[in-house]
Amino acid sequence: MTKKLLFLLDTDPVASVFDTVVGYDGGADHIIGYGGVTTANVGALVDGCIYTRGPKEKQFTAIFVGGGDMTAGEAVFKAVKKRFFSNFRVSAMLDSNGSNTTAAAGVALLAKARPLAGKKAVVLAGTGPVGMRAAAMLNIEGAEVVITSRQKSRADAASKAIEERFGFTPTPIEAVDNAARARAIKGAQIVFAAGAIGVPLLDEKGWQDDPTIELLADCNAQPPLGIGGVEAVDKAKDRHGKIVIGALGLGGLKLKLHRECIGKLFESADKIFDCENIYAQAKELA
């Protein structure tokens, strides 16, 4: 039987172990990881995927684009798709640092708990891959979106990148520390914490008595957690009268979604998984 080959094209120097494990669990027979992938060197890697198997076997070759830089991942993914023509194509998925699958799991669980349309959402540390995709998915749900960064220039750059990809502009805000982030969530209903692993972003006192906050989600599973007073295992748990979701609470859906998308890559040679359809898939699974 033709082997299911998954080519992991990573924009970081070394291909991700996390994406390798989930790739196998999603159904790949063999995973070949490349680090340091750029728009300049990806062409030959794509050619190796599209010219090697006949029309009936092409569905058993697939591409996964990952890495810690969302903008670099988007550029590589665009270059991959541009290389395809006619039936010289294979299925491909973009999930830089788990961006699409993690954000989709978090936002889908928030949307399951309560309608998000018309509400104000603040994505704390919204400049990384997960935060940028969470901003896009919150916008899909009809929320008004703000992203914070410790540096205004980084918030501006992320906002511009989101505008270029999705055609809407989240409001960029500088918030240098936990106190500033507590001020940034004033008047909002939704908080989505997307900070780097092990980095606390908001103290419990910054949200527990806030009169407008209804929903909070935190992606960081490694203590200290991103939002004080939220347990990693929380899944639509009531805390201080608000609905909270912790990193492990959303992590189960993230992994299920990630595996499911990998499995679907091998069903035909023309699947393209990115923000919009990964989010739609998350809503079905949530």
Q: Given the rule CB under 6 A, which residues bind ligand NAP?
A: 68, 97-98, 102, 125, 127-131, 149-151, 154, 194-197, 199, 219-221, 247, 250-251, 254
| Single-letter residue type at 106 | G
Show the tokens assigned to 188. Answer: 């909002």
Strands (E), the chain: 5-10, 30-34, 61-66, 91-94, 120-124, 144-149, 171-174, 190-193, 215-218, 235-239, 242-245, 272-273
C-beta of 281: minimal distance to ligand NAP in Å?
16
C-beta of 124: minimal distance to ligand NAP in Å?
8
C-beta of 254: minimal distance to ligand NAP in Å?
4
Whichever of 61 and 220 has its CB closer to ligand NAP, that residue is 220
Whichever of 68 and 228 has its CB closer to ligand NAP, that residue is 68
Whichever of 50 and 175 has its CB closer to ligand NAP, that residue is 175
C-beta of 222: minimal distance to ligand NAP in Å?
7
Whichever of 83 and 133 has its CB closer to ligand NAP, that residue is 133
Whichever of 6 and 253 has its CB closer to ligand NAP, that residue is 253
C-beta of 107: minimal distance to ligand NAP in Å?
13
Could you give the C-alpha distances from 186 to 119, 121, 230, in angstroms and in order?
A: 13, 10, 18
Longest dimension (CA), the chain: 62
Q: How far apart are the first and last CA of the chain?
A: 34
Of all residues in this chain, which one has the CB nearest to ligand NAP in the complex? 128
CA 103/CA 86 separation, integer angstroms: 32
